[in-house]
C-alpha cells in the first residue's frame, strides 16, 4: 500500500494527514487515561433471571393501614393487620351450612414460589372433621384491590376475548348476556321489605323467599371458593362522606374487578385502613348458572338482592352492568330511609355554584345536555340529594359507545384510554382500532371509566342544592312544547310518569311513535313506590327554591314522519336560559290539555316553535294527537292512583289534577 497516495486518489490513514475526510477536533483532558463518556455500568445484583425479575418491582407501601392503630395501647403489627383483613374476607366467603370461611391468602397463585402463610378459616362454631370438603383443603388466593395495570395483566393472560385497543383501553366480552336481565332479578320479601318495598303491578321488584336466596348464595360462594383465585374490591358509594356506603365485590373475573374499580369510589390508602366490615357485599359468580329447578328461578340467570342480609348474588350472567344497577337499587332503598333522595339523573354545576339535575330516558339527550364545557360535571347517572346538597353515588361513568364520534362527544372519546373498560366493541384485528359503528356483538356497547377522566369533572363530586330540575322527553308525537315551566304538582306528575316516545317499526314497515313510561325516569331500579320519591323531590324543591322544567328534545311541526326534530342548537339555548335564570323572567301562557306554562319568546329560539300548535299545518291533526298522548298519560298513571302519600289522599289528588285535563 502506498505511504501517502495523495496524488493517486487513495485515502491515507496516517494520523498526521487525512485526505478526503475532515479532521476531527477533540478536547484534550488533563488525564489522558480518562475515557470520554463512559457508558459502562455496574452489573446487576442478581445471579439468576428470577432474582433479576424480583428486582424489577419494588414493594408498595402497605395499603392498610397508614396510621398505627393501637389495641389497648399496643401497636398492631403489619402482619396482624394483614391477618385481620384476610379474616374479614374469609368471613365474607363463609358457607352458611359449614359456617366456615375458606383458607385465604393474598396474591396471584401463578406467582407463588412456595406455599404462603395462610389465614385459617373463620369458625363460628366448632366444626366436625366430617364436614371437610375438597374446597376446604385448598387455598383461595385473594387478588385484593388490584390496580388497573395488574387487572390488565390478569385479563389478557387468563380471560379469552380481552385485548388492549389502540387507545389503551381494555376491550372485553361479557359473554352471552350483553345487557341487564330484569326478568331474572329477585328481591327477598320478608318482614324487612314486606311493607317498605313496592310490590305488585308495575313494580320492578319480583319476590323470592330467603331460603331460595340462601340456596343461591351458597351456590355462588361454593363456586367462588372452588376457584384458585378470586378478585376482591373494597370500595365506596356516595361522595357525601356522611352518608357513604362501604361495598365489597367478590368476583371471578378481572374484567368485573376493573369495571367496579372504575364505577365505585376508589378509597385512598388512609380510607382503606379503616374499611373494616362492608355495609353491602356482592357475590358475582359470573357465568356459573343458578339451578333452574330452584324455586322462583325461570332461567339459568338470577340476580338476587337480600336487603336484610345486605347481600347480592349474581349467577348465570357476566354482564358487569348488573353490579352497577344492583347497587343503585340498594341505594334507592337505603338512602330514603335516611331522608335522602336517590335519583337516576345527570347533574352539573355552573361557575357560580348553580346546580341542575337532568332526568331523561334513553335517547332524550340527557348525557349530551348535561355534558357542558362551561359547567362542572358532578355526575352522569346516579345521585343523592340530602340536607347538605347533591352528591354523585358513583366514582365513574358508564357511557354508550354505539356510533361514538370524536367530533360529537370529545370528552367520552378522550376518556377511552388506559384504565377504561370497553364492553363488547369490535376492533380491527391488527391495529386494534375500535369501530364504534359495528354492532356485530351488540348495539349496547359501553365504556366504563373513572369520572376524573372527564376534564371538567368536579372532584369531589358534590354540590349545593339544585336550582333547576330538568325533565327531558323526546316526544315523537310532536305535541309537547320545547320547554315548559312546571309547578310542584306538575313536576311530581311528570317525574312519576317518566315519559318519552320512541320510534318503533310496525308490521307493515311504517314507523310510528310508541309512548314509553318509566316511573321516576328509572323504574327498573327503584325499590319504593314512585310517589314516595316524588313527594321527597317536591319537598326538597320547595324547601330549597328549585324550579321544575319539562324540555322536549323530540319533534315539532308534526309527529315523526311529517314533522322534524327540534334543532339541538335551540335546545341548548333553552338549557342555557334555564341555567342563567333568563327563562324565569319570560312571559308565559298556558297550553290546552296538559295545562303547561310556556314562554312566549326566548332569545335565540324562533317564537313560533315555542307553542307546538303554531308549527302544525293541520290543526285538527294536532288536537287529535294531543288528546291521544293525554290519554296515554292517563292510562299509564292508573297504576299509581290508588296509592296514598301520608295519612290522607290530598297530595295524591293534587298530583292527579296536574295531569292532562280534557
**In this predicted model, what pLDDT tens digit does every residue of 147-160 receive, in sequence order?**
999 999 999 999 99
User: Considering only CA atoms, which of 171, 466, 228, 523 is closest in space to residue 348?
Assistant: 466
Give the pLDDT confidence of 49-59 residue by residue, as tens digits.
Answer: 777 767 777 76
The residues, ordered by sequence, that sit 6+ positions from 336 with a Cβ below 8 Å of its Cβ are 342, 528, 532, 533, 536
> Pairing between strand 421-423 and 170-172?
parallel
Give the pLDDT confidence of 482-525 residue by residue, as tens digits.
Answer: 999 999 999 999 999 999 998 765 445 557 789 999 999 999 99
The catalytic residue among 185, 324, 325, 465 is 325
> Pairing between strand 511-517 and 499-505?
antiparallel
134 SS3 class: coil
511 noted as active-site residue: no
Cell 340530602 locates to: 386
The catalytic residue among 367, 391, 442, 615 is 367
What's the mean pLDDT in 318-343?
98
Cell of 37: 463518556
Return the pLDDT at 512.
79
CA angle 561, 564, 567 (to 5 degrees): 150
Whether 30 shows a pLDDT value over 60: the answer reads no
User: Considering only CA atoms, which of 466, 490, 497, 488 is closest in space to residue 539?
Assistant: 488
Return the pLDDT at 410.
93
Give the pLDDT confidence of 212-258 residue by residue, as tens digits.
Answer: 999 999 999 999 999 999 999 999 999 999 999 999 999 999 999 99
The catalytic residue among 253, 381, 529, 547 is 381
373 noted as active-site residue: no
Lowest mean pLDDT among 1-15, 362-376, 457-471, 629-643: 1-15
When the pLDDT of each residue in the chain is averaged and rounded to a whole number, the result is 88
> Pairing between strand 462-463 and 597-599?
unpaired
User: Considering only CA atoms, which of 444, 428, 426 is closest in space to residue 180?
Assistant: 444
Whether 273 shows a pLDDT value over 80: the answer reads yes
Lowest mean pLDDT among 26-30, 402-406, 467-471: 26-30
Whether 130 shows a pLDDT value over 60: the answer reads no
What's the mean pLDDT in 293-320?
96
Cell of 159: 380471560
The catalytic residue among 217, 246, 248, 366 is 366
325 noted as active-site residue: yes
Helix 488-497, helix 530-544: angle, nearest 10: 150
Return the pLDDT at 107.
87
Q: Where are the alpha helices (DSSP H) in 345-398?
A: 366-370
292 SS3 class: coil
362 noted as active-site residue: yes
Return the pLDDT at 442.
93
Whether 63 shows a pLDDT value over 60: the answer reads no
Return the pLDDT at 50.
77
Whether 3 shows a pLDDT value over 50: the answer reads no
What is the model's pTM? 0.86
Return the pLDDT at 26.
55
Return the pLDDT at 64.
38
What's the mean pLDDT in 631-644?
87
274 noted as active-site residue: no
The catalytic residue among 362, 437, 564, 580 is 362
The catalytic residue among 344, 458, 485, 529 is 344
The catalytic residue among 180, 217, 229, 485 is 180
> Pairing between strand 483-486 and 434-435?
unpaired
Distance CA(559)–CA(556), nearest Å, equals 7
User: Considering only CA atoms, which of 417, 367, 412, 380 is closest in space to residue 171?
Assistant: 417
366 noted as active-site residue: yes
The catalytic residue among 446, 465, 540, 622 is 446
Return the pLDDT at 114.
44
Residue 62: pLDDT band (50, 70, 90) is very low
Amino acid at each position: 500500500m502506498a505511504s501517502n497516495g495523495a496524488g493517486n486518489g487513495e485515502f491515507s490513514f496516517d494520523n498526521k494527514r487525512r485526505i478526503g475526510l475532515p479532521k476531527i477536533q477533540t478536547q484534550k483532558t488533563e488525564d489522558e487515561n480518562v475515557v470520554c463518556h463512559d457508558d459502562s455500568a455496574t452489573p446487576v445484583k442478581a445471579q439468576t433471571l428470577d432474582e433479576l425479575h424480583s428486582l424489577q418491582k419494588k414493594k408498595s407501601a402497605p395499603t392498610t393501614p397508614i396510621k398505627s392503630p393501637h389495641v389497648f395501647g399496643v401497636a398492631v403489627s403489619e402482619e396482624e393487620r394483614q391477618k385481620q383483613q384476610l379474616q374479614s374476607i374469609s368471613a365474607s366467603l363463609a358457607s352458611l351450612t359449614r359456617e366456615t370461611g375458606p383458607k385465604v391468602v393474598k396474591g396471584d397463585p401463578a406467582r407463588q414460589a412456595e406455599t404462603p402463610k395462610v389465614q385459617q378459616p373463620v369458625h363460628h362454631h366448632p366444626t366436625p372433621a366430617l364436614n371437610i370438603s375438597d374446597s376446604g383443603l385448598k387455598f383461595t388466593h385473594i387478588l385484593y384491590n388490584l390496580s388497573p395495570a395488574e387487572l390488565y395483566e390478569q385479563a389478557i393472560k387468563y380471560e379469552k376475548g380481552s385485548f388492549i385497543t389502540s387507545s389503551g383501553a381494555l376491550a372485553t366480552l361479557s359473554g352471552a348476556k350483553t345487557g341487564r336481565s330484569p326478568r331474572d332479578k329477585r328481591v327477598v320479601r320478608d318482614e324487612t321489605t314486606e311493607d317498605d318495598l313496592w310490590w305488585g303491578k308495575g313494580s320492578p321488584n319480583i319476590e323470592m323467599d330467603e331460603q331460595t336466596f340462601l340456596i343461591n348464595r351458597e351456590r355462588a360462594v361454593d363456586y367462588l371458593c372452588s376457584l384458585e383465585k378470586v378478585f376482591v374490591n373494597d370500595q365506596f358509594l356516595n361522595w357525601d362522606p356522611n352518608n357513604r356506603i362501604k361495598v365489597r365485590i367478590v368476583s371471578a373475573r378481572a374484567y368485573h374487578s376493573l369495571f367496579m374499580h372504575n364505577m365505585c369510589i376508589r378509597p385512598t390508602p388512609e380510607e382503606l385502613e379503616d374499611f373494616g366490615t362492608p355495609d353491602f357485599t356482592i357475590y358475582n359468580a359470573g357465568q356459573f348458572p343458578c339451578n333452574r329447578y330452584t324455586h322462583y328461578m325461570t332461567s339459568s340467570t338470577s340476580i338476587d338482592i337480600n336487603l336484610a342480609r345486605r347481600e347480592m348474588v349474581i349467577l348465570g350472567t357476566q354482564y358487569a352492568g348488573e353490579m352497577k344497577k344492583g347497587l343503585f337499587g340498594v341505594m334507592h332503598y337505603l338512602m330514603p330511609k335516611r331522608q335522602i333522595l336517590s335519583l337516576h339523573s345527570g347533574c352539573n354545576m355552573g361557575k357560580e355554584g348553580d346546580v341542575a339535575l337532568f332526568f331523561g330516558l334513553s335517547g332524550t339527550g340527557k348525557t349530551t345536555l348535561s355534558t357542558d364545557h362551561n359547567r362542572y360535571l358532578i355526575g352522569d347517572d346516579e345521585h343523592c340529594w340530602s340536607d347538605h346538597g347533591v352528591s354523585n353515588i358513583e366514582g365513574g361513568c358508564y357511557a354508550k359507545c354505539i356510533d361514538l364520534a370524536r367530533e360529537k362527544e370529545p370528552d367520552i372519546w378522550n376518556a377511552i384510554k388506559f384504565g377504561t373498560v370497553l364492553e363488547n366493541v369490535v376492533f380491527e384485528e391488527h391495529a386494534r382500532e375500535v369501530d364504534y359503528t359495528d354492532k356485530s356483538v351488540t348495539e349496547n356497547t359501553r365504556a366504563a371509566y373513572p369520572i376524573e377522566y372527564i376534564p371538567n369533572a368536579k372532584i369531589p363530586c358534590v354540590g349545593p342544592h339544585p336550582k333547576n330540575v330538568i325533565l327531558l322527553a323526546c316526544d315523537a308525537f310532536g305535541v309537547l312544547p320545547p320547554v315548559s315551566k312546571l309547578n310542584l304538582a306538575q313536576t311530581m306528575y311528570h317525574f312519576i310518569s317518566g315519559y318519552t316516545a320512541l320510534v318503533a317499526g310496525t308490521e307493515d314497515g311504517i314507523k310510528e311513535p310508541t309512548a314509553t313510561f318509566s316511573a321516576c325516569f328509572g323504574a327498573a331500579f327503584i325499590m319504593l313506590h314512585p310517589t314516595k320519591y316524588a313527594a321527597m323531590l317536591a319537598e326538597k324543591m320547595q324547601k330549597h327554591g328549585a324550579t321544575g322544567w319539562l324540555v322536549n328534545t323530540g319533534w315539532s311541526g308534526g309527529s315523526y314522519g311529517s314533522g322534524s326534530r327540534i334543532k339541538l342548537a335551540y335546545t341548548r339555548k333553552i338549557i342555557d336560559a334555564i341555567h342563567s335564570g333568563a327563562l324565569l323572567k319570560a312571559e308565559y301562557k298556558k297550553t290546552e290539555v296538559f295545562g303547561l306554562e310556556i314562554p312566549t319568546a326566548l332569545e335565540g329560539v324562533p317564537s313560533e316553535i315555542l307553542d307546538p300548535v303554531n308549527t302544525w299545518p293541520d290543526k285538527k291533526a294536532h288536537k287529535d294527537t294531543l288528546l291521544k298522548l293525554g290519554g296515554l298519560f292517563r292510562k299509564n298513571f292508573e297504576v299509581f292512583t290508588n296509592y296514598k302519600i301520608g295519612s290522607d289522599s290530598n297530595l295524591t289528588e293534587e298530583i292527579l289534577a296536574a295531569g292532562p285535563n280534557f
